[in-house]
Amino acid sequence: MTCTTTPERVAALWNLLRTPELPDLEQGPRPGVSPCRPLEVRLRSLCGDLALGPETTDRVVAAGLLYHDHHNEAHDLVQDMIDAEGALIHAIVHRREPDFWNARYWYRRVGDHPIYRQLTPRVIQLAGTDATTGLAKRLVLSGTLDPLAVVDALETVVRQPATDPVVLFLRRLQHAEFEALLDHLVAG
């Protein structure tokens, strides 16, 4: 495989990770995800083809496993990571458990991560309805997407049906977060 540009490299990852449905806000499982071990093997092979280093590979694998609802395995990979990307994946794991207190703890350890500045303009685009536009504006009130505000928003809809417009918006936002994270890891 010869992917030379970051968009080509990210596209190769998404060809492997794409699922029929976006990840749930909680753990899942949902239909259409790949089994854990074969997915990890394919991700590690692709990361090797993309010439990603071992630390980046572990982060990409953890994010990919989490995208496919393999929370425990993703958590095991990031448990001891102390860098911002490891903490970010760790925060998403706990957010989806849902363990909101623990997610907030890990988001505070992440600090000002560049993916949230990158996501800021997309938040309003992803909203789409009056009910979600107000929420989207609150999520970027500080001038950048606030992941702690996202956790707060998720906590208010945790038991709402998947068809709720706010839940749908937050699932699209979560997917965009995964996109931005993988783009950041591959470009790094």
Domain residue spans of the chain: 6-187
pLDDT class for 4, splitting at 50, 70, 90?
low
Interval 95-127: pLDDT, tens: 999 999 999 999 999 999 999 999 999 999 999
Cβ contacts of residue 2 below 8 Å, gap of 6+? none
Cα-based distances in Å from 168 to 64, 129, 151, 164, 176: 21, 11, 15, 6, 12
Interval 37-91: pLDDT, tens: 999 999 999 999 999 999 999 999 999 999 999 999 999 999 999 999 999 999 9
Given this model, what pLDDT does residue 188 score? Answer: 76
The structure's pTM equals 0.95
